[in-house]
Amino acid sequence: MDARIDAIRALGFEPGDAHVLRNAGAVVSDDVLRSLVLSQRLFGTRTVYVMAHTDCGLRKIDDDELAAELEAETGAPPPFAFGSFRDLEEHVRTSVERVRSCPWLPNRDDVRGCVLDLSDGTVRTVA
Residue-wise pLDDT for 4-18, tens only, equals 899 888 888 888 888
Surface-to-core class of residue 36, CB atoms within 10 Å of its CB (0-12 exposed, 13-18 middle, 19+ buried): buried
Q: What residue ranges define each of the domains in the chain, with the CATH number in brackets?
A: 7-59+85-125 (3.40.1050.10)
Quick one: pLDDT band at residue 50, thresholds 50, 70, 90? very high
pLDDT at 7: 87
pTM here? Answer: 0.90
Q: Would you list the DSSP string of 70-98?
A: HHHHHSS--SS-----S-HHHHHHHHHHH
Chain mean pLDDT for the chain:
95
Closest CA to 99 of 36, 43, 39, 53: 36
Render pLDDT for 15-37 as a digit per residue (tens, 0 to 9): 888 899 999 999 999 999 999 99
Return the bridge partners of 50, or none.
113
pLDDT at 17: 87
